[in-house]
Amino acid sequence: MKSYKDLSREELLQLHARLEEEYKDAKSKGLKLDMSRGKPAPSQLDVEMDIMDVMTSSSDYKTETGMDCRNYGIVDGIPEAKKLMAEMMGVADANNVIVCGNASLTIMYDTISRSMTHGVLGSTPWCKLDKVKFLCPSPGYDRHFSITEHFGIEMIIVPMTPQGPDMDMVEELVSTDSAVKGIWCVPKYSNPQGYSYSDETIRRFAALKPAAEDFRIFWDNAYAIHHLYDDVQDVILDIISECEKAGNPNMVYEFASTSKVSFPGAGIAAIASSKENLDDMLKSMTMQTIGYDKINQMRHVRYFKNLGGLTEHMKKHANIMRPKFETVLKILESELGGLGIAQWTMPKGGYFISLDAMDGCAKKIVAKCKEAGVVLTGAGATFPYGNDPKDSNIRIAPTFPSLEELTEAANLFVLCVKLVSAESLLQSYSN
Amino acid sequence: MKSYKDLSREELLQLHARLEEEYKDAKSKGLKLDMSRGKPAPSQLDVEMDIMDVMTSSSDYKTETGMDCRNYGIVDGIPEAKKLMAEMMGVADANNVIVCGNASLTIMYDTISRSMTHGVLGSTPWCKLDKVKFLCPSPGYDRHFSITEHFGIEMIIVPMTPQGPDMDMVEELVSTDSAVKGIWCVPKYSNPQGYSYSDETIRRFAALKPAAEDFRIFWDNAYAIHHLYDDVQDVILDIISECEKAGNPNMVYEFASTSKVSFPGAGIAAIASSKENLDDMLKSMTMQTIGYDKINQMRHVRYFKNLGGLTEHMKKHANIMRPKFETVLKILESELGGLGIAQWTMPKGGYFISLDAMDGCAKKIVAKCKEAGVVLTGAGATFPYGNDPKDSNIRIAPTFPSLEELTEAANLFVLCVKLVSAESLLQSYSN
């Protein structure tokens, strides 16, 4: 296929007319599909239903230390859940883990909120400072950016590379600007690109020399065990150990949850960090709760048992998700390959495919899709303030629709990419 | 029995010597009992075990509006859980309710925290103010006071009466001091006295004219359905409706949970307020979570069904708790009645009995009990900053120990009250 950029104005006009016809046809189908969020499909939720039979009226509700899971107590999580979550996150020592409620997002939000009101390990509360800044590797996770925006924290875009964030820029900003208090990271199968940080990137993170004593890396290890393939899997270094080795034991908070392992609505979430950080955090947590849901923690432990159990279980998810990713990638390749109008990632795990359209085209493509009944993540959502400076990045979430729906949605999507790109090129002719 | 205050020095000396002997004997028993917290007994937790069989692998996980409880979504709680919690709280309209995770304490903490960082309905964030004050009807719930202390909020003691807080003082402070932003209330079977606010008290609350536009009543309806008796039950007015009627719809947040209905570790909690307040709150909540544990919400709805189901269920708890309350009250009456050294409350619900010893005696009594193996709530804990100005109030939590243990503990307790009182009176003789 000839690159669009090599087409004459005449050829482009003909192409555009043909694409418009195709689009009209597509619209008339009255699709109603949602590719907007990283949501497991109903069929994925069905594979873990046995977990609901693990804690019944006749079960033992005692933890390994003899505490009754049903009653008050244990603010930092039952010991066996700490072990499970440590294994899942790849954290060496379960004592570095606190297990909370059903959402890692809540732990992240609460961590920022606590830093605002109480500071970090005795530092000035961030709400008392004139300016607080966060580095935001982008494209990234919109809900991270929403939290920092909500607290009035200034967000600075750091470009992403296939090896992770641009570390030259990270090192420069972190070491020179004491207003920089944090950075959002999804180190494995990143949202939305599916990139995993290289060993070098992670070692450079661990070796950062922050200007601010209360600078923290917010390490959202959301997809730690969310592989698509058995044979090709990304492995990343344990940031907790690396920070310890580098003499920066307090510099990182790591987050994870079973939202996409058991249930998005009813999993368990955890934070891992140094003992000093966790103790600091517990000062607030013991005010905030007498204890998170320990029965649900026990339910997860009894069902998954250990990393082996988790890994086996995640293969069931992969078997459902892999064909969906492959379907989208195949359609992207066959329909957009060689046209010079889009680039996309080919992740080996996680929940997303990231596509970069021609500059200035993302919003129009997403709008065209919506007009024809396919909802994508809002263009710009993958950047701070919902503002993609190039208006180019689109996040594709292939998991929720069925394979049939997904095929229709992906076909409509590539059509919209072509149509908007042709329009854009025509406009540059007329300018 | 003669009042201790009518005893001569000689009689007191003899009495004291005898009590010292009794205390020595008691100490030698090597008791190890805990009457410190309002914790359900294991036998109480056993009565609700059937709830664990309600959501199994073969259950229907769709809400009444067709949402899948297992997946992401519904930040404000599933509709049927809103109805259940509204009924439990006595709130007329389920639209005034948001159902959250397992702890109302967390909702209260988060509400204060959000007011600190984001203000209330557009007001200046409290962290930007020089001074924020809360009124603390005392004796009250130590965990309330811990939250406000944690956020550096100045706490002002308001005396409690059997009809509720001293409303003259509340009206005066709330209407004249714009730094007063809130008041902690446990309106029904209050912690620790078991008092329920009178209709007049509640109407005066609803009619407050706060100097601060962001003043809020923090109405912790923790014991809404926690009656001890079938025939004598306290009923309180619905503060949400009363505030509406009085033209103050936004002035109150009401909190409740099923911690002492289903499980302290794994219940569901809710907040009720005006739509405007809830919408303000949701701006932060939608950043903090994609949704609370909806499977657990569904579990509670399917098991308890409605207020009727909750009420029937709570009778089982009452049947276990009532003999414990009666045992303690009988021992207090038979051992301390007429001695003029202590007064205590006789609650018809809730989780506590409150005893006022002679001034300056509470700490010593609690210490004596501890020395002999019985742990009570720390003296002073029922006042802001853990400081009871009269050092007189002691909270008795009779629910957790077995009836046999409780009898032993209560007998030791009254002995310690007598011993410390005799000592105190002897000292005043020598002064």
Angstroms from B103 CA to nearest CA on chain A: 7
Chain B residues with beta carbon closer than 8 angstroms to that of A147 = 287-288
Q: How many CB pairs under 8 A join A and B?
A: 172
Angstroms from A124 CA to nearest CA on chain B: 12
Q: Residue B220: its pLDDT value, please? A: 98
Angstroms from A233 CA to nearest CA on chain B: 26
Is residue B145 within 8 A of residue A287, CB to CB? The reply is no
Angstroms from B388 CA to nearest CA on chain A: 20
Nearest neighbour of B71 by CB, restricted to A45, A103, A291: A45
Whether residues B52 and A59 touch (CB distance < 8 A) is answered with yes
Tokens of B316: 């089982």
Instruction: Report pLDDT digits (tens) over B55-99.
Output: 999 999 999 999 999 999 999 999 999 999 999 999 999 999 999
Mutate to test the interface with B, among A36, A39, A52, A78 (most CBs of B within 10 A): A52
Q: Residue B265: its pLDDT value, please? A: 85
Instruction: Report pLDDT digits (tens) over A186-220.
Output: 999 999 999 999 999 999 999 999 999 999 999 99
ipTM passes above 0.85: yes
Q: What is the mean pLDDT of chain A?
A: 97
Q: Where exactly are the structural domains of chain B?
A: 4-44+312-430, 61-304
Mutate to test the interface with A, among B147, B293, B399 (most CBs of A within 10 A): B293
pLDDT > 80? residue A87? yes
Mutate to test the interface with B, among A58, A76, A287 (most CBs of B within 10 A): A287
Helix axes A104-118, B275-288, angle to 10 degrees: 100
Average pLDDT rounded to a whole number, residues B339-347: 98
Nearest neighbour of A265 by CB, restricted to B127, B128, B293: B293
Chain A residues with beta carbon closer than 8 angstroms to that of B145 = none
Q: What is the mean pLDDT of chain B?
A: 97
Query: Predicted confidence band at A431 (pLDDT cuts at 50, 70, 90)?
Result: low
Average pLDDT rounded to a whole number, residues A235-252: 98
Angstroms from A402 CA to nearest CA on chain B: 15
Which architecture characterizes domain B4-44+312-430 according to CATH?
Alpha-Beta Complex (3.90)
Q: Residue B358: its pLDDT value, please? A: 98
Number of CB atoms found within 10 A of residue A58's CB = 8
Which fold, A61-304?
Answer: Aspartate Aminotransferase; domain 2 (3.40.640)
Separation between Cα atoms, residue B292 and residue A216, nearest integer Å: 27
Query: Predicted confidence band at B2 (pLDDT cuts at 50, 70, 90)?
Result: confident
Backbone phi, then psi, for B98, in 5-degree steps?
-120, 130
pLDDT > 90? residue A428? no
Tell me how long chain B is.
431
Tokens of B207: 């009619």
Chain B residues with beta carbon closer than 8 angstroms to that of A105 = 288-290
Instruction: Report pLDDT digits (tens) over A7-65.
Output: 999 999 999 999 999 999 999 999 999 898 899 999 999 999 999 999 999 999 999 99
Nearest neighbour of B151 by CB, restricted to A49, A117, A294: A117
Whether residues A290 and B73 touch (CB distance < 8 A) is answered with no
Whether residues B295 and A263 touch (CB distance < 8 A) is answered with yes
> Percent of chain A, pLDDT > 90?
97
Q: Residue A1: its pLDDT value, please? A: 67
Average pLDDT rounded to a whole number, residues B146-164: 98
Whether residues A287 and B150 touch (CB distance < 8 A) is answered with yes
Quick one: which of A308, A296, A185, A301 has its CA closest to A251?
A: A185
Instruction: Report pLDDT digits (tens) over B96-121.
Output: 999 999 999 999 999 999 999 999 99
Angstroms from B290 CA to nearest CA on chain A: 8
Is residue A322 within 8 A of residue A355, CB to CB? The reply is no
Whether residues B102 and A101 touch (CB distance < 8 A) is answered with yes
Average pLDDT rounded to a whole number, residues B1-19: 94
Angstroms from A28 CA to nearest CA on chain B: 27
Helix, strand, coil proportions of chain B in percent (round to 5)? 45, 15, 40
Separation between Cα atoms, residue B55 and residue B302, nearest integer Å: 8
Whether residues B293 and A293 touch (CB distance < 8 A) is answered with yes
pLDDT > 90? residue B362? yes
Strands B133-138 and A374-376 turn out to be unpaired
Chain B residues with beta carbon closer than 8 angstroms to that of A59 = 52
Complete DSSP assignment for A229-255 = -SSS------HHHHHHHTT-TTSEEEE
Separation between Cα atoms, residue A227 and residue A232, nearest integer Å: 8
**A66 by DSSP, 3-state: which?**
coil
Whether residues A289 and B37 touch (CB distance < 8 A) is answered with no
Nearest chain B residue to A125, by CA: B127
Separation between Cα atoms, residue B69 and residue A230, nearest integer Å: 30
Chain A residues with beta carbon closer than 8 angstroms to that of B263 = 70-71, 295
Nearest chain B residue to A287, by CA: B147
Whether residues B288 and A116 touch (CB distance < 8 A) is answered with no
Instruction: Report pLDDT digits (tens) over B300-337.
Output: 999 999 999 999 999 999 999 999 999 999 999 999 99
Four-CA torsion A216, A217, A222, A228, nearest 10 degrees: -170
pLDDT > 80? residue B1? no
Chain B residues with beta carbon closer than 8 angstroms to that of A101 = 101-102, 292-293
Quick one: which of B368, B115, B395, B26 has its CA closest to A116?
A: B115
Whether residues B287 and A72 touch (CB distance < 8 A) is answered with no
**Residue whose tokens read 């599933």:** B78
Q: Residue B431: its pLDDT value, please? A: 67
Chain B residues with beta carbon closer than 8 angstroms to that of A151 = 117
Sign of CA dihedral B312, B316, B317, B322: positive
Number of CB atoms found within 10 A of residue A381's CB = 24
Query: Predicted confidence band at A133 (pLDDT cuts at 50, 70, 90)?
Result: very high
> Percent of chain B, pLDDT > 70?
100
Whether residues B72 and A291 touch (CB distance < 8 A) is answered with no
Nearest neighbour of B55 by CB, restricted to A52, A73, A283: A52
Is residue A368 within 8 A of residue A7, CB to CB? The reply is no
Whether the domain at B4-44+312-430 and the domain at B61-304 fall into the same CATH topology = no
pLDDT > 80? residue A369? yes
Angstroms from A423 CA to nearest CA on chain B: 37
Nearest chain B residue to A102, by CA: B293
